[in-house]
Structure 1
Amino acid sequence: MRLYNTLKRKKEEFEPLNGNKVNLYACGITAYDLCHIGHARSSVVFDILVRYLRFKGYDVTFVRNFTDIDDKIINRANETGVTATELAEKFIGEFYVDMDKLNILRADIEPKCTEHIPEMIELTQNLIEKDHAYSTPSGDVYFKVRSFDDYGKLSGRNIEDLQSGARIQPGEEKKDPLDFALWKAAKPGEPSWESPWGEGRPGWHLECSAMSEKYFELPFDIHGGGQDLSFPHHENEIAQSEAATGKEMARFWVHNGFVQINSEKMSKSLGNFFTIRDILDKFMPETLRYFLLTMHYRSPLDFSFEALEEAEKGIRRVYSALEQTGEALQKAKWSKAALPEEVLAEIESAEKGWAEAMEDDMNTAGAMGHMFTLIRLAGRIAEEKAWRKSEGGRDAWTRILEDMKEWGEVLGIFTRDPKEFLEELKLCMLERKGIEVAKVEELVAARKEARKNKDFARSDEIRDELIELGIEVKDTPQGAVWTVI
């Protein structure tokens, strides 16, 4: 498998450091608010990376942290009249609610910052002893950026460029504007812990260095997060960990791209900020997950509700095909005929293509293209009378369903019972359109009655009324079937 390594700015062949064992650390949320679609994208990306590595047979240990003490948490807690601990616990719980709906696997280890204060103090002491950090009279501790020669190697930034825009703020006791906080002296009313420098709390960047080192021996295989974390967060993690240990921190750095809203950066000030719940109020969770896979994980993803509607059509098409193929396999008798070799070759080509797409830096968009190839092929087999009644057709359908199930488990989509999913999707679409099921059923029944009485003019009127509502009716041997369009 080839993964794009931000540190090297190129795709590299991924091989674990220790045989079959893969150690993967991803930065989690700062628990002060509901998760937005940027969190959804990052969570889905690393969920699929873990799933795919396990699919390949690797023994993966996945660590994803929670930042449960931070300026944002403290400020929000003060605004709402609760403790920082209460606020963080609330939004960690809300995180699980959202991620469970999106079919995100739980990480193997989910450390919280406040549970690892001793490790952070020890790391800070180590850096001071090695002259990579210093304490101030007020009790702050800063990392000496210029003491680490490789600073900027992840983001590609250099000290001179950073220096030109850096300033020491009034009241700060930094020796250099580039230095960043490892430990912050306690302020009145803030949560704090005892340390050699007095009461205080850890800086944001320190957390992930201390927690990843606690659970993994350095270097570990993969460190991941959103593109926005590359600098300064991940850059500072590298500086802290490597200055303290003299070892490389992580071998591969994997970052997912931004989510944009109608080609603009998502921002509360622009009024284009959407939480996961804003979206799940209108669309099914699997539709959102499917949408997030339609673009390569490193590319910017342009979100719009129109794009979600297109994703909804795609996912409905797949589940409809899975349902029809499953029903076709219930036939009792099959002729001995085989399928033409070129049909089997198409299946093999799709299987090879799916694997190649996933091996090429986890190209889920390309992989899903090969899933649609199989879905189209399943439909072609159904259209050919000789094929759909043959043992060859049966075997091809069985193989297609097995492939779709296996691939769906890796991508976390297309794993539900098709009939159940399609019924739920129908209700979701009706609710979004503000249409009651009873109203549709009433019109469909009236149309059936009109056709029974050979009142085709009335039947056509009702059909047109249904189309205006966004409902299409098809007459099948089993009766009228309606769908939302």
Structure 2
Amino acid sequence: MTTIKLQNTRTRKKEVFEPIDAQNVRMYVCGPTVYDRAHLGNARPVVVFDVLFRLLRSEYGADKVTYARNFTDVDDKINARAAERGRPISDITAETTQWFLDDMGALGALEPTHMPRATAYISEMIAMIEDLIARGHAYSDGAGHALFSVKSYEEYGKLSGRSVDDMIAGARVEVADNKRDPMDFVLWKPSNDDQPGWDSPWGRGRPGWHIECSAMARDLLGASFDIHGGGNDLMFPHHENEIAQSCCANPDGEFANVWLHNEMLQVEGKKMSKSLGNFFTVKDLLDQGNPGEVIRFVFMQTHYRKPMDWTEEKAKQAEATLRKWRALTAGIEPAASAAAAVMDALADDLNTAGAVAELHKLASAGDAAGLLASAQMMGLLGAEMGAWADGPSVDLTPFADLFFAARQTAMETKDFGEVDRLKSTFVEAGLEVRMSKTGVELVPGPGFDPSKLEALT
């Protein structure tokens, strides 16, 4: 069995992973708030923890790993979107939830074992809040709010490594008259007639954001479970608050033993932003002709704890590599198991970049069976992901030879008119022209249209 080591955010150490129960390895990952299409940054933790899910299933057995990822379907952003579009909130959440599942499925992500919706766990949230109040860790302001008392939990701030004073200074903390302390956070808040609401001991209202994950994780995974994951933007305040309320409500539990956080995503070296014009949803990239498998492969080439930069050049290179690997493994049965070097890389704190390097070595060595088994373990080269690479079957060798001959003639005559004409035709058809001293390679890109080459035959 491969020894898995993971960088635990809470201890700041790379630790050997030892599950609480090897017969039921449990992982919780914070999911999306469903009011719009998932952007490219939303997809990174999905792919990261999908790879971990696959690794755990490979090591412990597919039926011995439980993975929960939630949907936040009660939120002020959802309310605003529903009002903006004049549609029922339930319609908005149902539609955007399916969008998310479709888009992540296109990236080859397996569906988690459980995908709980916050609105299905309101009673569990109310029960947890009541328990926190009874234990002296929360209080009601008498006006429809229930709030968690941060000072009642001495370990607050250990995950992010910051003191409460630092967190107050470095964050936008709402200072309200109903708070006993500026850091106290909302567990329950009142709803007006236009907002979704449920009856509670504090009046008609709806849950705060943080309580939902604690309630759902406890119900599905227990008071103590193995791994909690998410983007590092959630470390404070969301994950700090989850730990505080969960540990206070379950003093005999540990909540999550291991915390994993992925770094953020950039586009062409800059933070993704609508104002910069580099904001993409996953659907945008798919509609632009970027195959889901290619997007997934680009993600895997950067370690999850490092910032990832999405570029068009990386996407082109990833597509070319996957085409070559699919050609190499066509008609081949995969090996009985993934290559040991690939598994060792993944087991070393989910080093997907190292695993990809090992895939390149397998391809270079001509080990098609080992390449296929290893890539499929990582969610690549599966038959269900390969339709994009099938495309029209066109032998591009004659066109490459034609271009090479024209280039040789042009070098002698100094007339590059024919070379330019051919290259323009190839580019318009969706081919990338790669030239070297010894030959020409024509690489189909997204939207390759062979009909545009007919004029050359």
What's the secondary structure of 1:105's corresponding residue? coil
Q: Which residue of 1 aligns with 2:316?
A: 309
Q: Which residue of 2 aligns with 1:374?
A: 362
1:120 to 120, 125, 137: 125
**Structure 1 residues 212 and 472: CA distance shift in structure 2, 3 A:** closer
Alignment deviations for residues 301-351 of structure 1 (CA, whole Å, 9 cap, x no partner): 01122221222222223223324xx58x9xxxxxxxxxxxxxxxxx9xx93
Q: Is the 8 A contact 1:466 1:472 kept in 2?
A: no
Q: Does 1:12 align with 2:15?
A: yes
Structure 2 Cα separation of the partners of residues 31 and 419 of structure 1: 29
Paired AA for residue 137 in structure 2: H
Q: RMSD between aligned alpha carbons? A: 3.2
Q: Which residue of 1 aligns with 2:437?
A: none
Deviation at 1:401, TM superposition (A): 2.9
What's the secondary structure of 2:154's corresponding residue? coil
Structure 1 Cα separation of the partners of residues 129 and 385 of structure 2: 54
Q: Does 1:484 align with 2:444?
A: yes
What's the secondary structure of 2:217's corresponding residue? helix
Deviation at 1:377, TM superposition (A): 1.3
Deviation at 1:85, TM superposition (A): 1.7
Paired AA for residue 263 in structure 1: G
Structure 2 Cα separation of the partners of residues 104 and 34 of structure 1: 16
Paired AA for residue 146 in structure 1: K
Q: Which residue of 2 aligns with 1:24?
A: 27
Q: Is the 8 A contact 1:472 1:483 kept in 2?
A: yes
Deviation at 1:187, TM superposition (A): 2.5
Deviation at 1:112, TM superposition (A): 0.5
What's the secondary structure of 2:229's corresponding residue? strand
What's the secondary structure of 1:56's corresponding residue? helix
**Structure 1 residues 270 and 418: CA distance shift in structure 2, 3 A:** closer
**Structure 1 residues 463 and 103: CA distance shift in structure 2, 3 A:** same
Deviation at 1:355, TM superposition (A): 2.3
**Structure 1 residues 53 and 237: CA distance shift in structure 2, 3 A:** same
2:303 to 296, 300, 316: 296
Q: Does 1:280 align with 2:286?
A: yes
Paired AA for residue 136 in structure 1: D
Structure 2 Cα separation of the partners of residues 462 and 237 of structure 1: 66
Deviation at 1:262, TM superposition (A): 2.3
Paired AA for residue 70 in structure 2: N
Q: Which moved more, 1:355-364 or 1:463-472?
A: 463-472
Structure 2 Cα separation of the partners of residues 418 and 41 of structure 1: 18
Q: Does 1:71 align with 2:76?
A: yes
Structure 2 Cα separation of the partners of residues 55 and 369 of structure 1: 20
What's the secondary structure of 1:82's corresponding residue? coil
What's the secondary structure of 2:383's corresponding residue? coil
Structure 2 Cα separation of the partners of residues 178 and 169 of structure 1: 8
Q: Is the 8 A contact 1:166 1:177 kept in 2?
A: no
Alignment deviations for residues 18-60 of structure 1 (CA, whole Å, 9 cap, x no partner): 1332011111110001001111111111111111111113410
Q: Which residue of 1 aligns with 2:451?
A: none
Structure 1 Cα separation of the partners of residues 174 and 44 of structure 2: 35
Structure 2 Cα separation of the partners of residues 315 and 200 of structure 1: 51
2:137 to 132, 138, 145: 132
2:109 to 101, 104, 108: 104
Alignment deviations for residues 145-194 of structure 1 (CA, whole Å, 9 cap, x no partner): 01100000111111122234678757641111110000011124111000
Q: Which residue of 1 aligns with 2:455?
A: none
**Structure 1 residues 364 and 139: CA distance shift in structure 2, 3 A:** same
Instruction: Give matches, 1:86-105, under 5 Å.
Output: 86-105=91-110
Q: Is the 8 A contact 1:168 1:174 kept in 2?
A: no
The normalised TM-score by structure 2 is 0.83
Deviation at 1:462, TM superposition (A): 6.9
Structure 1 Cα separation of the partners of residues 44 and 378 of structure 2: 13
Q: Does 1:422 align with 2:382?
A: no
Deviation at 1:359, TM superposition (A): 1.3
Instruction: Give matches, 1:334-483, under 5 Å.
Output: 351-378=339-366, 400-416=367-383, 421-424=388-391, 465-468=421-424, 469-470=426-427, 471=431, 483=443
Structure 2 Cα separation of the partners of residues 27 and 182 of structure 1: 17
Q: Which moved more, 1:145-154 or 1:254-263?
A: 254-263
Q: Is the 8 A contact 2:14 2:349 kept in 1?
A: yes
Paired AA for residue 325 in structure 2: V
What's the secondary structure of 1:79's corresponding residue? helix
Instruction: Give matches, 1:325-336, under 5 Å.
Output: 326=331
Q: Is the 8 A contact 1:358 1:367 kept in 2?
A: yes
Deviation at 1:13, TM superposition (A): 0.2
Q: Which moved more, 1:4-13 or 1:415-424?
A: 415-424
The normalised TM-score by structure 1 is 0.79
Aligned residues: 416
Q: Is the 8 A contact 1:322 1:418 kept in 2?
A: no
Structure 2 Cα separation of the partners of residues 418 and 102 of structure 1: 8
Alignment deviations for residues 426-457 of structure 1 (CA, whole Å, 9 cap, x no partner): 79xxxxxxxxx9xx99x969x79x99xxxxx9
Q: Does 1:53 align with 2:53?
A: no
Deviation at 1:269, TM superposition (A): 3.0
Q: Which residue of 2 aligns with 1:252?
A: 258
Structure 2 Cα separation of the partners of residues 351 and 307 of structure 1: 25
Structure 1 Cα separation of the partners of residues 99 and 218 of structure 2: 27
Q: Which residue of 2 aligns with 1:337?
A: none
Structure 2 Cα separation of the partners of residues 417 and 107 of structure 1: 18
Percent of pairs identical after alignment?
42
**Structure 1 residues 461 and 256: CA distance shift in structure 2, 3 A:** same
Paired AA for residue 138 in structure 2: A
Q: Does 1:212 align with 2:217?
A: yes
**Structure 1 residues 172 and 78: CA distance shift in structure 2, 3 A:** farther
Paired AA for residue 467 in structure 1: K
Q: Which residue of 1 aligns with 2:162?
A: 157
What's the secondary structure of 2:266's corresponding residue? strand
> What are structure 2's unaligned runs of at least 5 residues?
407-412, 435-440, 446-457
Q: Is the 8 A contact 2:108 2:385 kept in 1?
A: no
Structure 1 Cα separation of the partners of residues 230 and 179 of structure 2: 29
Q: Which moved more, 1:50-59 or 1:28-37?
A: 50-59
Deviation at 1:352, TM superposition (A): 3.6
Structure 2 Cα separation of the partners of residues 401 and 30 of structure 1: 41
Paired AA for residue 58 in structure 2: F
Alignment deviations for residues 393-426 of structure 1 (CA, whole Å, 9 cap, x no partner): xxxxxxx2332222122211112399965333x7
